[in-house]
Structure 1
Amino acid sequence: MRKKMRKTTWAAVTAVAALACLATPALAQVRTLDAVNVYAGSEQPNWQKLRSSESRVRARGGSPEEVTLETTSSQHVSVITEDELNMVNAMNTLDVMERLPGVTVTRTGSLDGTIVLRGQNSSNFRVPMFINGDRFRGRPAFQFMMISPTELERVEVIRGPASIRYGSDGLSGLVNFVTKKPKGTLGERFTLQGGQLDVTYRSNGNGLQGNVSVEAAGNNVDFRAYAMARQSQKYDTPAGEIRNSDYKTAGAGFAAGWMPNANERYELSYRYGEIRDGSSNATTTENNWGRRVPLNIHQGRLGYEGTFEDRWFSRIDASLYLNIFESLLETNTISNNGNTFRRQTNNVRGPNIFGGHLTVETPRDERGLEWAFGLDFANDHWLGGKTRIETQDVATDSWTDNGNPRTGRKFTQFNTGLFALADWELRPGWSINAGSRFDYYLSDTEVAFLESEDLRPLFEAAQDTSTTHWTGSIGTSYFVNETVELTASYGTGFRMPWHSEMFSSGWNGTTYTIPNPNLKPEESITAEVGARLHLPKAFVDFAVFDTRYRNYLGTVQSTYLGQPATQTVNLGKVHTKGLELAGKWQLTGRVNLHGNAAYVRGTNRLTGAPVSGLAPWSGLVGAQYVGGNDAWAVTGEVQFAKGQNRWDPATEYRTGGYGVVNLYAQLQLDRLGFEQLQNTQLVLGVTNLFDKEYRSASTGSTMSRPMSELNPLLSPGRSVNLTLRTRF
């Protein structure tokens, strides 16, 4: 069976590589790709003029934003643009994500945390994250801290099921981070095109963030390289300083592109990220604290994109990628009498993930029909963890060390999926889309490090086990007139249990984790209707959804060898429903109103208990004013959430409502009279202006401990932020 898995992997790789090469011949008609601007001979403008507008203050506008992700017309998508990222100047992607409709944040530190979208938590593998259209698999509890806002050009979120095109885990939506690309011109001579430098200071925690990048282009080649770093001390709240919330991170990377013609682009990219930080939750005390020392990731990617005329295919998109994770997770404990210090360091080796995708799209034919076909695969391999235990006798300063032996077993999970999507334009303004996907999973586990031989038959039976799954969807978009667009969709989603849920076992204090290799995939059915208003100076997006889950995974209490134990099981059915509203209105040339609001309600259909971690209402409202000559802009916003009216007292403390005021000012210094500071922008921000004490309903509680600033964790208090950004 293992030979079969290797053959399947290499067959998928060969298919991606071979099909990506179909488009290499020169083409008769030219269409320029978005990655770079292509000009020929004397038509080529000065690159400084091209780049001079990139850092300008801009009005938010009233038009919908385009996305790089491939979506259907019936799906609802939210975008945070680079202009908005520059205004917020966040040091944490979580602060960016909670600006989106229906997204709330569960915090476990300054950087650490996950998101909840339509009632589902990304930490539970139900809201996958992508980078440039490729799945960022492997560490869902840490994924949002492993990329900095300074690396991003935009953030895209599909709200609603996305399993057809993007595979497992897209139950309630997905997040795609689009990193910055080279923006030079491709002239005849390869030259340095310039770059960007920005520095951010955050008063809360004395945080500091820096980023530098350079770009070059010419001879059909483009290149961008960057380096970044950020650090902060412990952050403050109105209730006091949050223990163990400091961090230091560093990262670097490059993207190199080659365009044999204006239709095609190959890109080789690499990024490295490293994080050293502390986790903050109810277990964090003066005698007990956890650290990451560090988390790191290596990511390599080879991508291809081509657009074509007069072919049976109109677009090809393909990639191969390799992600290598490694973590040192440190738990420090001082005994109650202070005589002993114990440091346990878990070396989580992996996952190492090799994957890729291929998508081929056809032009719309005379019947109004166009197709998209795709293949993707990933081989997810965990190497087996190691555990080092060091113990100090404080009185004698003597240490014992267990030598860092391997204590965890190896896991492997291979997945490949095939999909087909059709979009049929019945008549102008009315389209129907439908699709289906088939997924194959092969899971394997090492039989080792068993605490009891009673578990051996369970693990041996789980070796080389395969699972298949079908999903499907249908949707429509109908323009009643030029202003009103109606949408509707019905689709299924699924989530394959991860190997950590099926095969993890061992003691956690006095509680034992029992493996369960027989877990079934979670399944969802979502019905959604919506409307979009396309006005000359405004855009409104509205959606109502109803999702029902079965084979829902959860943890139950049990016993093992007479001791307390837990096990992940398919425990039941869950029902979530809600609505989302987002809009923006360019009221005048200088005044913009914008905002969003979302309602969500979740219920366990077997027990009747509400799904934990949900605020019934949440959102953001704001206004922007742009000054004369586009030299400056001020923006005021209120982020809000309604207090919980349904919560499960067995699993969470009730959280109250809040409204947090944030202010931002953008100053274009060269247009304010400082002509020597060309393309330089100063951004001032005050977040949580009134220093309000608040916490997200999505942040977890530990019911065995009293409610405190750490349980559930409070969000940061007031902070003054300052960013200086220049392009050269």
Structure 2
Amino acid sequence: MLYQNFSKTPVLAAAATSLLLLLLLSSTAHAEAPMAANEATEVVISASRIEMARESSGSAITVLDSDYLEQNQVQVVSDVLRDVPGVAVSRTGGAGAPTQVRIRGAEANQTLVLIDGIEVNDVASGSEFNFAHLMNLEVERIEVLRGAQSALWGSDAMGGVINIVTKRGKGSLNGKITVEGGSYDTHQETLAINAGTDDYHYALSGTLLNTNGISAASEERGNREKDGYKNATINLKSGIDLLDNLSMDLVVRHVKSDVDTDSFLGGVGAVDSDDNTETEQTSGKVSAKLDLLDEQWHHRLSFSANDTDNTFFTAGTESYNSQGYKQKYEYQTDLFLYSSLTNSDDLEHRFTFAAEHEEEEFYNKGFSTIDRDMDVSGYVVEYGANIDDRYYATVAGRRDINSLFQNANTYRLTFAGWVTDSVRLHTSKGKGIKNPTLFELFGSTPDYTGNADLRPEENSTWDVGTEYHFNALDGYVDLTYFHTDVTNLITGSGQTSVNMPSDAKIKGVELSLVLRPSDNTRLNSSYTYTDSNDGNGNELVRRPEHVASINGSYLFSNDQTRLTTGVQYNGKQDDIEYDANWNTSTVTLSDYTLVNVALTHQLNKHIELFGRVDNLLNEEYEEVLTYGTKGINGMVGITITGSL
């Protein structure tokens, strides 16, 4: 059923129509190629489905590059997301424990997660991506796009997009080996090889992580059993130029994990138990790109799939199983045209059209066996204008045709402009939609029963910000106000899910600072204030009002030793408490501050020694009610690089 004939999908019909229309338009195209982004600027893909400079987008975007990740010795990607304005992270225990990421108060399954262009949200688990298993394996950059992005990316992007791009192979064949170990009997081994020329590239990497961990249920509440974690991840990224204007790319990723967990009881919360969860996720994408008219007209055709299998065990016996599969066919075309406003001002037009067809299948074996599926076709049109590399505007609209719900229309508008050489204004407005997931509709676990009467969630978001650039310090400071209205918000009620009867409202302020005053020094800082209301006067749970971070890195004069220090503050937040009958009430969790320190020393051209200490002040805290967190802990290791 899922593997239908590709030629029968609506994508190819839409692609053929688009090609015919754009061939007629292309006769007016100017001979020059589209302007490239300044190489010194941060490049993003998620903002408009094409590569562009961050400053060219009116959306609120944060980019964390590989230098930032390596300087902080990031092991798990979710840890570094705490440094991003507008982002809140919640982990239910130690390494491998379910980890949620929320953007601007949106629910975790309202954030679309892309890894090398593959949508990896887990159909088997509420269409939410579990960040617990995402290792920092050769990550080139992380883009965090905030606000409703459904017009570009569909249902899962109601709250925002997190786009993760891994490194591309380059140069002669070379490799890297990293071995590290430390607290909680943790050890990790990583191997990466890559190569690339103008005609081809490939990068293959893998990592093994093993730790005895901490108790998932809080030790402060009397739980002492250690809950271990194992993770094996492998990633392949490759491509080849078949012709001067035709290329093909292949990405494959496989993650296998096994995490010990604890039970959750009404009236008690998390308690020690002999439970564990095994997860396998395999994802892949094959795509082709064709450039015409001196690279002014791009065409992309792709197929991607993501398959996740979660199996839950109690005392070694399988208790239930949840599987999800999603496949997606996609065609996208981008046409660049040029004209002049005056003798000195140029106007660049960009027209983007995309057609998508995706199919989801959900299988749940628990108290009963459930096998359901859903398919969605989406059509995207976006117009972008660039006036003399100073003012930028986009208008986007999308139509989704859904097999289970009413068809939906979404939109997004953005504007960015330099009012002086140092001051940039940016603003965006959009409508988002999030369909109830197959798990929310039909799922069944020992603690949950789906609700087939759920209605799609909708939101309206807007933001406006001012960014001031310090040319002498190679950086900027940005202040942004955001506002979100949510209709039909889906929330837990007892052991099921319901739509909230009242509209929820979320508003706040984001402040971010990025400075690189010298080649040896970097400073990043962020602060977010979030005011959330579920429509009944209650604060939305796990959305702290205040979140802040500061992170600095300094390379000493010997050009070999680097010290990086980060401080992350998470303010008070509400969480859910259950009584013995699963009735809910709210409780306030205390604020906490984490201090992390990392040190690296480049011994010679091929060998680097490193070490880090996390939670240096040994802070005691809970991110989720009754679940444990790590005390002071550290790791040391060595990285060896060289040509092969």
> Aligning the two structures, in what range does the TM-score lie when normalised by the shorter sequence?
0.7 to 0.9
**Aligned equivalents of 2:233, 2:314: Cα separation in 1:** 25
- Paired residues for 1:48-127 under 5 Å: 65-71=42-48, 73-109=57-93, 110-111=95-96, 112-122=98-108, 125-127=109-111
Identify which of 500, 506, 523 aligns with 2:439.
500
Residue 689 of structure 1: SS of its match in structure 2? Answer: coil
**Aligned equivalents of 2:633, 2:136: Cα separation in 1:** 18
Which residue in the other structure is 2:401 paired with? Answer: 440
Report how far residue 246 of structure 1 moved.
1.1
1:320 aligns with 2:307: no
**Aligned equivalents of 1:153, 1:184: Cα separation in 2:** 16
**Aligned equivalents of 2:608, 2:34: Cα separation in 1:** 33
Amino acid in structure 1 at the alignment position of 2:455: K
Amino acid in structure 2 at the alignment position of 1:501: E
Amino acid in structure 1 at the alignment position of 2:275: G
**Aligned equivalents of 1:10, 1:666: Cα separation in 2:** 55
Report how far residue 497 of structure 1 moved.
1.2
Q: 1:507 to 1:258 in 2, by over 3 A?
A: closer
Which residue in the other structure is 1:183 paired with? Answer: 170
Which residue in the other structure is 1:547 paired with? Answer: 484
Which residue in the other structure is 2:25 paired with? Answer: none
Identify which of 466, 475, 486 aligns with 1:538.
475
**Aligned equivalents of 2:223, 2:18: Cα separation in 1:** 53
Report how far residue 570 of structure 1 moved.
5.1
**1:33 and 1:263 in contact (8 A); partners too:** no
1:331-371 Cα shifts (integer Å, max 9, x gaps): 34xxxxxxxxx9442122x2122113222111142162221
**1:223 and 1:254 in contact (8 A); partners too:** yes
**2:457 and 2:487 in contact (8 A); partners too:** yes
Identify which of 472, 482, 487 aligns with 2:421.
482
**Aligned equivalents of 1:178, 1:97: Cα separation in 2:** 15
Calculate the aligned-residue CA RMSD, in Å: 3.3
Give unmatched runs, 5+ long, in structure 1. Answer: 35-61, 186-192, 333-341, 388-405, 444-465, 558-564, 671-677, 702-710
Amino acid in structure 1 at the alignment position of 2:606: N
**1:89 and 1:200 in contact (8 A); partners too:** no
Aligned length: 599
Which residue in the other structure is 1:642 paired with? Answer: 571
Which residue in the other structure is 2:276 paired with? Answer: 291
Moved more, 145-154 or 524-533: 145-154
**Aligned equivalents of 2:198, 2:483: Cα separation in 1:** 52
**Aligned equivalents of 2:16, 2:633: Cα separation in 1:** 52
**1:594 and 1:623 in contact (8 A); partners too:** yes
**1:20 and 1:318 in contact (8 A); partners too:** no
- Paired residues for 1:134-533 under 5 Å: 134-137=118-121, 138=123, 139=125, 140-141=127-128, 143-184=130-171, 193-203=173-183, 205-217=184-196, 220-235=199-214, 239=220, 243-261=225-243, 263-280=245-262, 282-283=264-265, 288-292=273-277, 294-310=278-294, 313-332=296-315, 343-348=317-322, 350-366=323-339, 368=347, 369-382=349-362, 384-387=363-366, 407-426=368-387, 428-443=389-404, 466-504=405-443, 508=446, 513=449, 515-516=451-452, 518-533=453-468
1:277-297 Cα shifts (integer Å, max 9, x gaps): 1235654877634311x2102
Q: What TM-score, normalized to structure 1?
A: 0.75
Report how far residue 162 of structure 1 moved.
1.0
Amino acid in structure 2 at the alignment position of 1:660: L
**1:591 and 1:625 in contact (8 A); partners too:** yes
**Aligned equivalents of 1:321, 1:65: Cα separation in 2:** 27
Amino acid in structure 2 at the alignment position of 1:479: W
Q: 1:281 to 1:150 in 2, by over 3 A?
A: farther
Residue 91 of structure 1: SS of its match in structure 2? Answer: coil
Report how far residue 269 of structure 1 moved.
2.5
**1:375 and 1:418 in contact (8 A); partners too:** yes
**2:360 and 2:375 in contact (8 A); partners too:** yes
Which residue in the other structure is 2:600 paired with? Answer: 666
Report how far residue 599 of structure 1 moved.
0.9
1:530-574 Cα shifts (integer Å, max 9, x gaps): 1122221222232110100112222445xxxxxxx7453353310
Q: What TM-score, normalized to structure 2?
A: 0.85
Give unmatched runs, 5+ long, in structure 2. Answer: 23-30, 49-55, 341-346, 578-583
Identify which of 601, 614, 626 aligns with 1:687.
614
**Aligned equivalents of 1:534, 1:308: Cα separation in 2:** 37
Which residue in the other structure is 1:37 paired with? Answer: none
**Aligned equivalents of 1:198, 1:319: Cα separation in 2:** 34
Higher gyration radius (CA): 1
Amino acid in structure 2 at the alignment position of 1:666: T
Residue 297 of structure 1: SS of its match in structure 2? Answer: strand
**2:182 and 2:635 in contact (8 A); partners too:** yes
**Aligned equivalents of 1:290, 1:227: Cα separation in 2:** 27
Report how far residue 7 of structure 1 moved.
7.6
Counting aligned pairs with the same residue, the percent is 20
1:407-432 Cα shifts (integer Å, max 9, x gaps): 31211011111111111235652232
Amino acid in structure 1 at the alignment position of 2:148: P
**1:77 and 1:158 in contact (8 A); partners too:** yes
Q: 1:304 to 1:691 in 2, by over 3 A?
A: same
Report how far residue 600 of structure 1 moved.
0.7
Q: 1:220 to 1:622 in 2, by over 3 A?
A: closer
1:562-611 Cα shifts (integer Å, max 9, x gaps): xxx74533533100001111112223443332211111111022x21111
- Paired residues for 1:591-602 under 5 Å: 591-602=521-532
Residue 120 of structure 1: SS of its match in structure 2? Answer: coil
**Aligned equivalents of 2:5, 2:502: Cα separation in 1:** 37
1:609 aligns with 2:538: yes
Amino acid in structure 1 at the alignment position of 2:427: A
Report how far residue 659 of structure 1 moved.
2.1
Report how far residue 680 of structure 1 moved.
2.5
**Aligned equivalents of 2:548, 2:78: Cα separation in 1:** 15
**Aligned equivalents of 1:275, 1:415: Cα separation in 2:** 30
Amino acid in structure 1 at the alignment position of 2:280: N
Residue 338 of structure 2: SS of its match in structure 1? Answer: coil
Report how far residue 471 of structure 1 moved.
0.5
**1:32 and 1:262 in contact (8 A); partners too:** no
